[in-house]
Amino acid sequence: MRSAVQQVAQEFGKIDILVNNAGLLAFGPITDFPVNDFEKALSVNVRSVFTATQESVRHMPDGGRIITIGAVNSDRVPVQGASVYALTKGAVATFTKGLARDLGDRKITVNNIQPGPVDTEANPASGPFADTMLGFMAVKRYGHADEVAAMTAYLAGPEAGFITGASLLIDGGFAA
């Protein structure tokens, strides 16, 4: 991760915007949750955000943007077995608040987008959990990747320069 960020910074001279967009669904009862799976979830969902952010801000000019794609599950966990996933996404949401304070003097904004169910290959709108997920949403449909991308683009732009430390829901009312 560090070498990839350094390579980008070397090629372009700086890093203006970092979008942390990696995630691993960790699901299962806490009594039987394998420690190796817990470590893997922490590595992908938390450590990668930390590492990419730490290295990127070394190459980021004042006024840069850091945007992390978290999950609505840091606010709402409506089913059993999602506690480890919620823990990792809650860590990202809290890290966002701390980073906003740490980087505010440099006018670097730090925000966390928290999607609800989005129609992806890993979580299809026609998948085995779709009926359950739709039951939790006010808007009875899955989100689309382009909707999350549009929010990301907005937060990366100049119009969002006064938004920082926020966890923004894009969840069809999942957390309502």
Q: Given 57, 66, 85, 88, which residue is catalytic? A: 85
Task: Indicate which CATH number applies to the domain containing 48.
Answer: 3.40.50.720
How confident is the model at residue 122, as a pLDDT?
A: 85
Q: Is residue 53 part of a domain?
A: yes
Hey, what's the torsion of the CAs at 46, 21, 142, 39, to 10 degrees? -30
What percent of the chain lies above the pLDDT cut of 90? 97
Do the Cβ atoms of 86 and 110 come closer than 8 Å?
A: no
Hey, what's the torsion of the CAs at 40, 41, 44, 47, to 10 degrees? -90
How confident is the model at residue 71, as a pLDDT?
A: 97
Q: Is residue 132 part of a domain?
A: yes
Q: Is residue 175 part of a domain?
A: no
Do the Cβ atoms of 21 and 69 come closer than 8 Å?
A: yes
Under the banding of pLDDT at 50, 70 and 90, the label for residue 118 is: very high
Q: Which two tokens stand for residue 158?
A: 């100049």
How many domains does the chain fold into? 1
User: What is the Rg, in whole angstroms, of the alpha carbon atoms belonging to the chain?
Assistant: 17
pLDDT at 91 over 90: yes
Q: Is residue 176 part of a domain?
A: no
85 is catalytic: yes
pTM of the model: 0.95
Q: What mean pLDDT is reported for the chain?
A: 96
